[in-house]
Amino acid sequence: PSRADITYFGAGPALLPTDVLETAAQALLDFNGTGLGIAEHSHRSELATNIINEAKADLASYLDIPTAEYEVLFMQGGGTGEFSASIYNLVGAWVARQHAAVVMEIGADDEAAAVAALRKRVESDLKLDYIVTGGWSLKAYQEAVRLLGPEYVNLVADARTENGGKFGKIPDQSTWKLSKDAALVYYCDNETVDGVEFPGFPQALAPGPDGTGPIVVADMSSNILSRRFPATNYSLLFFGAQKNLGSTGVTVAVLKKAFLPPNTVQPSPTLLRKLGLPIPPIVLQYEIIAKNNSLYNTLSIFDVYIAGQVLKKLLRTFPDRVDGQEALSAKKANLIYAALDAHPDVYKVVPDKSARSRMNICFRVTKSEKAFLKESTAIGLTGLKGHRSVGGIRASNYNSIPLEGAEKLARFIDAFAKA
C-alpha cells in the first residue's frame, strides 16, 4: 500500500505529518544548502543551537508556558527515563529544602549533627505520592519503589480498587490520601494503554488561595499538544516525542525554575550517600541538562528538528494555537465515540464515560475483533490492535490523524456493526 492510502492509528511511534517528513527527508541529505545532512552536523554547531532554541520557544508559545518561570529540557531515555529522573531530581530538591531548614535550626558549623538530623527527617518525612490510574503510572510508581524502597512511596489511589480490579476510572478525588509536604505528587494525564484521560487538571492537586500547592509531576507523553492545561500548576511535566510531537529519540521535560540553581542546588553525592539515598546518573540531572541548554552530551538534533517542524506546522495551522488543536481533537474523538455508542450490542468502550481518553480510544468488539481488524486494515485503517497487555481495539487519535481519517474510522465502525 502507499502512504496516502493509510490512516495509521498506532499508539506510538505514531503517524507524522507527511509534509514534515518530506522536509525532513531533504534535510537528512542536505540541511539548508550546507552540503551536510541534519543528522551529520555537530550538536555543538550554531545551527544545532538555533534548532533547539526555536523548538523550545515554539513549544512554550504554542502551550502558553511562561519561559521566565519554566525551563524546557530535551532529554534522552524516553518517558521511562523520566520516571526515574523525576524521582532523583525532586527527592534531591526535597533534601535541599530540608537541609536548609536543618541549618536554620542548628547552624552550619556542626556538619555531623546536620547529617544526623537530616537522616532523621528522611526516615520520618520523605514521601513520594503516586496516583495510579493505568499501566504507565503503575510503572512510574514501581520505579519509585525500586529506587527508594516502599517505605518512601505513598500510593494515593489505585484506580483498580474502585473498578473491579481493572483500570478504567479516575478514583474519587475526595478519597485521595495525599502526604504532607510530599517530594512530589505524580499522575499520568493520559494512560495510553488503558484509554483513561483526566478530564482536566485534578482539583485535589490545585494550588490553594495563597498560590501554593503540592509539587505536581505529570506524564503527558500521549496527550501533550492536544489541549490547554494550567502550566503553572505543575512543577514538572514530561513527554516522549514519539506520539504528538515528533520522532522517537527525544523526551521533553518542562521544569519550574524554582527547582534549578540558584533557587535549588542538588545535594552532593557525598551527602546522598550519607543519607542512604540514590545518586542520580548525570544524564538524568536536570540542573546539568539545563546548564548546558540540553547539550551536556550528544543529542539527536534530527529529532529536535522534526519536533520543531511539527510545532511550526501546528502554529501555522492553528492561529489560536493549542485551543485550535483542542477543538479538533475533541471533534475527532466525539465522532469515533458516537459511532461506538450507537451500537452498544456490538461495541463496548473500555473506560468509564467520565474518563474516556480523546487520544487512545479503547474498546471491545463483541462480534469478532479479528474480523474487525482484518476488514479495517483492508480499507487502510491500520494499527488498531490493542496493547498486548489488555487486548481489544485501540484507535490512537493523535494530532496527526486528520479529521477525514477519524471520519473514515467512524463510518467503518458503523458499517461493521450493521453488516
Of 15-23, 73-81, 106-114, 195-203, the window that binds ligand PLP (rule: CB under 6 A) is 73-81
Which of 12, 92, 195, 246: binder of ligand PLP (CB under 6 A)? 12
| Residue sitting closest to ligand PLP (CB) | 78
Residue among 31 and 186 whose Cβ is closer to ligand PLP: 186
Of these, 192, 226, 266, 400, which contacts ligand PLP (CB under 6 A)?
A: 192
Rounded to 5 degrees, what are φ and ψ at 343? -130, 65
Within 224-243, the residues that bind ligand PLP by CB under 6 A are 240
Interface positions, 279-308, toward ligand PLP (CB under 6 A) = none
CB closer to ligand PLP out of 212 and 389: 389
CA distances from 232 to 69, 83, 221 (A): 8, 21, 18
Whose Cβ is closer to ligand PLP: residue 222's or residue 300's? Answer: 222
- Residue 315 CB neighbours (<10 A): 16
Catalytic annotation on 136?
yes
Q: Within 10 Å of residue 222's Cβ, how many Cβ atoms? A: 28
Give the Cα separation of 302 and 182 in Å (integer).
38
CB of 83 to ligand PLP, least distance (A): 7
- Which DSSP state fits 172? P
| Stretch 334-373 residues interacting with ligand PLP (CB under 6 A) | none
- The reply to whether 243 belongs to the active site is yes
Burial 152-174, CB ≥16 within 10 A → b, else e: bbbbbbbbbeebeeebbbbbeee
Say if residues 355 and 337 touch (Cβ distance below 8 Å). Answer: no
- Part of the chain binding ligand PLP (CB under 6 A), chosen from 30-38, 78-86, 177-185, 204-212: 78-86
**7 vs 247 by CB, closer to ligand PLP:** 247
Tell me the three state secondary structure of residue 44.
coil
Q: Is 222 in the site for ligand PLP (CB under 6 A)?
A: yes
Q: Which helix (H) or strand (E) holds 128?
A: strand 128-132
Q: Which three cell numbers stand for residue 14?
A: 505514531
Q: Whose CA is closest to 252, among 238, 264, 265, 270?
A: 238
Task: State whether residue 382 is helix, strand or coil.
Answer: strand
Using the minimum distance from each CB to ligand PLP, give the nearer residue, 11 or 272.
Answer: 11
Site string for ligand PLP, 240-279 (x = CB under 6 A): x---------------------------------------
Show the CA angle centred on residue 185, arms to residues 72 and 325, nearest 5°.
50
Backbone angles phi, psi at 278, to 5 degrees: -70, 150
Choose, by CB under 6 A, the member of 129, 143, 197, 219 that binds ligand PLP.
219
Backbone angles phi, psi at 288, to 5 degrees: -70, -45
Among 49, 61, 76, 80, binds ligand PLP (CB under 6 A): 80
**Smallest distance from the beta carbon of 264 to ligand PLP, in angstroms?**
25
Catalytic residue among 58, 94, 136, 332: 136
Query: Where in the sequence numbering do the catalytic residues fall?
Result: 136, 219, 243
Q: Which residues bind ligand PLP (CB under 6 A)?
A: 12, 78-80, 136, 188, 192, 219, 221-222, 240
